[in-house]
Structure formats: structure tokens, C-alpha cells
A and B are shown apart, each in its own frame.
Chain A
Amino acid sequence: MPRVSADVVIVGAGETKVGKLPGLESVQLQAWAVERALADCGLKTTDVDGLINLDPYSIPNSMFASTVAEYLGLKTRFQSTVDVGGTVTGMTMLQQAVWAIESGYCEIAACVYGENSLTGRPADATGLQMRNLLGGEEWEEPFGVHGMVTPYALLAQRYLHLYDASTADLGEVAVLTRQHALNNDNAQMKKPMTLADHQASRMISSPLRLFDCSLISDGGGAMILMSRDRARHLGLPYVHIRSMAMRGTHNTVAQNPDIEALGMADAGRDAFEAAGLGAADMQVALLHDAFTISVLITLEALGFCAPGGAGAYLRTGAAGMDGACPLNPHGGLLSQAHIGGMLHLTEAVHQLRGTAGRRQVPNARRAVVSGNGGVFSVCGVMVMEAA
């Protein structure tokens, strides 16, 4: 089983505002997020000697760790830009930070991502017109597939067919996470949503409607890591990473294994086994929700319910704020903001430290974070625990 060292911990988490943030490019957003994460744990930029980030997707940049490090005035002993996919990228940043700190390459590392996906797009763009390629274009573009909604729609159609599920099951995810976002002052969506609103939202790529799709956002999120000894010495509250596992199985949707063979189940099994825990031991679930279908598949893959049972599971209330394991209390990518899943990770830190304010899950001791990039092409699962 892959193990994560218990000697390195997360001491800080910070977010910028999210939504439409004109006048800020990705470098400023990432710097702002690092500044917030440092303020969260009382450290200064001059304390940081490690920086791990992801460059913006809408306008790809090279050497973006160097760009952000210079802006912040960092003198680093370790830096790297990682791109695995979705929240798995953020998890991999944390994993690299743990490796770098435990091996002595740096002492205090910042992990950060942020970009101006919303205001940084060309004015005439439809959908998220990314200028970077995702691979496989030669086998998708000639047939009219462009971007990520249709690949997920193909997955969703398959799901509905396999389990005789309905689009109301998809709607449960949208409605629940919208309700949660209303407890979060830093969320893009501020209006309640009903299942009828979801079902009446316009069709994008069947069976996915507008309210099945995540937001496009400006914003950033960051975390600060150091050795547990140092955190104790400084008297800082911290959160443990108990385990992290990932699987990469394919890239493009035509190469997808069928739903139950996607990498999420294997990644989840590894992560839970390495932590010696299971879904029933979690008090909060931060599941990557680029589309509503992602959450149904992930709940099932992680063992919160049987294959095909996610809609019924959600209707029991188990994933609500008063349930056994609240889902995305911050509102997630669907209703808070889409910052590549970095805010799933910062939310886990807030929840486990008891600093989540109005949206605090009572007695949250353990959190599971899931991520998937591409179309479940890479899947990652991380288990975190309060100190």
C-alpha cells in the first residue's frame, strides 16, 4: 500500500474571493491565495522555500512556479509545476510537498492553483474554449466533440442506461450542493435551486443540462505544509494526510472502461486500505463535481452506496449537512466555484480544524477527498484526519 509520511502536515489553507475578478491574471490570483494561506497560519512569504503549483488551463504558461515565486519574492530550494488532472493535481502537489519536506529538500512548502478562467476568456468564446489541447483531438474534433461536457454526457447516458437511473438522480447532486453553497459567503451561486429548476435548465449535451455542469470561475486556493515537529513547536493547528492513491487508466472518452471499472474504485480501495479506514469512518466527503454524474459515480466507487444506488443514497439525506457524511459543504465546483478542486482540499483543512464557520460539520475528524481529471482518466483519493 502506498503510504504518506505522518511527519509532514498541513498548517495553512487560504482562498481568494471567487467569481468574476477582473484585473487579475493567474499570477496575481495564485499570489493572493498563497498570501491568504500564509496569513491563515501566521507565516510570511520569506518563510517559504518550496512552491508547487499548476499553470492556468485557459491560457497555458510555461515555468509557472518560477513566475509565481518571483512575484512573491520567494527564494526556493524546491519548486515544481504539476498537471495530473482535476483535484488529483492538488493532491499530487500535497504529495510532492510531503516528499520534499520529509527528504529535506525544503522546510515550508506552498501548494497553489488559481486562474482567471471566467474573465480571462476571449469575449466571443462559447463554453470553456481552452487554448491548450487535451490530447485525442484528431479522433474527436472531426466528429463534433469539443471540450469536456460531451465526454461526461456520454458517461452519464451510459450510467442512466446501466442502472435504469433518472436525470432526477443527477439533479439531487445539483440541488444538495446548491443548498450547501448558500452557507458559504465565498460562493458564486447565491440563489436556491429546486429539482424542478434543475429539470427545466437548458439542455447542453444530453442528458446533461446546464445545472449538471460546474461553474467557470476566477479564483485561487493554496495550502502550506511543514514538518509536524515544527508545527507543534510553533503551536500551529494542523491536519494530517492519512493516505493518497491514484489510478490512470486512459485519456479520451472512447478509451473509458465501463463505469464500474473506472479507476476511482481502485484508488478509493487503496486510499482507504492505506489509512485503515472506510467510507463509514468519514464525517465529510469532498468529491470532485465537475459534473453531477461525477458525484454519483464517485459515491458508488468509494463504497458510500452500491453501484446505481447514489440517487437513492442522496434522497436518504445522508449527504446533507445533518447526515452521516455531508457532501461538499462548501458548495463544490457546481455551486461554489471551479478552481480545479483546490477548494475541495482547502475545505477539508477548514472542516478538520473546525474553522469552517457557518458550514462547519460538527465533530468532523476525517475527510475523504476525491478527484478525477479528464473523463475519469485519472482518479485520486485522499484521506485526511484532524490532529
Chain B
Amino acid sequence: MNEPAYLAHLMPQTEDSEPFWRACNESRLVLRHCGQCHTVFYYPRRLCPACGSQRLGWHTASGRGTVFSFSEIHVPFAGPDWSSQLPYTVVLVDLEEGPRMLTRLIGDTRAELRIGDALEVCFIEVDQQKLPFFRRVAGH
């Protein structure tokens, strides 16, 4: 099956987020890591939300996680051109490294999705930006 034409409304990047989106373009999911308290967090910020430290590094995530919650969207909230995407599924994924991430679920087995299912990252390019969408791990 051909990949459908995904739509994505890209937002302006910031000093905080530019390395994240650049890594996505290299098909890597990166997370901020705190050198002080070792918290791994998402989304990237200029300080650690757990301890306030600015000793931050980047950590390449495994790209694996499990479903915390999900929703199948039936209304083109983002505008009439989104009708082509309906219905589509968004998920809250608990990443292996700890942080929770909101993303879009793709793949043929969307309809069977359950909370707790294993997912893996899958980079999809839209408007010259690769986006970290997720899909169900085969066999789960």
C-alpha cells in the first residue's frame, strides 16, 4: 500500500527546538537529558523542568514506547483541507526513556489499537521536514 499524502501543520522552530527537528531529518528521535538530576524530558526547553539545571545534553532515544492513550479524530479541526486525512489517530506515547509524547499514529492496524500496545517511531517527511510519527510494532 502506498503511503497516503500526510498533512502536517509545521510551526516555527525555536532555539530550543531546532536541534530536535534537525535530528528528525536524520531519522533520529532526540530528547533533552539533564546533567544534574539525569531527568530525560520532552519537549526541549532551556532548563530542566525537574530541577532547573541548565547543564543539558541530548540523548538519542530508542524510538520505542507504549500507548498511554489515543483518539481517532473525525473532524477537520485544522481546516477543510484536513478532510483528506479523516479519520486519523493521535496517540500519547510513553517513551522507553520516560517522557510522554503526543504524536500521530500511522499504519494499517490503527483500528485495533489498545492502551499499552508497543509502538515504534517512523519518520515521515512532510514539507521538507521529517516528522516522528509512530506505528504499532508488528505482532503487538
Residues of chain A within 8 A of B75, CB atoms compared: 126-127, 149, 204-205
The smallest C-beta distance from B22 to any residue of chain A, in angstroms, reads 14
Partner of B77, one of A127, A137, A143, A253: A127
Which B positions have Cβ atoms within 8 angstroms of A? 7-14, 17, 42-43, 68-80, 82, 85, 88, 90, 92, 100-104, 115, 126, 129, 131, 133
For the complex, give the distance between the alpha carbons of A158 and B67 in Å.
10
Contact status A146-B69, CB under 8 Å: no
CB-CB contacts below 8 Å: A120-143 with B:
124, 126-127, 136-143
Contact B78 A141 (CB under 8 A): yes
Kindly provide the distance from the CB of B119 to the nearest chain A CB, expressed in whole angstroms: 13
Interfacial chain A residues near B10, Cβ < 8 Å: 141-142
Closest to B72 in A: A206
Contact (A253, B92) CB under 8 Å given A138-B14, A146-B77, A157-B69: yes
**Known contacts A126-B76, A141-B78, A205-B75; A154/B11 CB under 8 A:** no
Count, chain A residues at interface, CB 8 A: 34
A residues near B (Cβ < 8 Å) are 124, 126-127, 136-147, 149-150, 153-155, 157-158, 161, 202-208, 252-255
On whether the beta carbons of B17 and A126 are closer than 8 Å, the reply is no
**What's the Cα separation between A269 and B74 when bound, in Å?**
38
A147 with B9: CB separation less than 8 A? no
Question: Residues of A contacting B7 with CB < 8 Å?
Answer: 144
Q: How far is the CA of A244 from the CA of B88 in the complex (A)?
A: 41
Residues of chain B contacted by A157 (CB below 8 angstroms): 69-71, 115
Given contacts A138-B17, A150-B90, contact A205 B131 (CB under 8 A): no
17 contacts between A and B (CB under 8 A): A126-B75, A137-B11, A138-B43, A139-B102, A142-B131, A143-B90, A143-B131, A144-B7, A144-B73, A144-B85, A144-B104, A146-B77, A146-B78, A147-B77, A150-B71, A154-B102, A205-B73
Q: Is the CB of A140 within 8 A of B74?
A: no
Tell me whether A142 and B74 are in contact (CB under 8 A): no
Residues of chain A lying within 8 A (CB to CB) of residue B80: 124, 126
State whether B14 touches A161 (Cβ < 8 A): no
5 nearest A-B residue pairs (beta carbon): A153-B71, A146-B77, A158-B69, A141-B9, A254-B102
Q: Quick one: closest A residue to B41, CB to CB?
A: A255
Q: Give Cα distance in the complex from A157 to B78, angstroms.
A: 22
The distance in angstroms between the C-alpha atoms of A203 and B86, with both chains bound, is 12
Instruction: Give the residues in chain B near A253, CB-CB below 8 Å.
Output: 92, 102
Please tell me which one of the listed residues B68, B74, B90 contacts residue A145 in the complex, with CB atoms under 8 A apart: B90
What residue of chain B has the Cβ atom nearest to residue A138's Cβ?
B11
Nearest-CB residue, chain B, relative to A152: B71
Most buried by B among A139, A158, A207: A139
The residue on A at minimum CB distance from B77 is A146
The answer to whether A143 and B78 have CB atoms under 8 Å apart is no
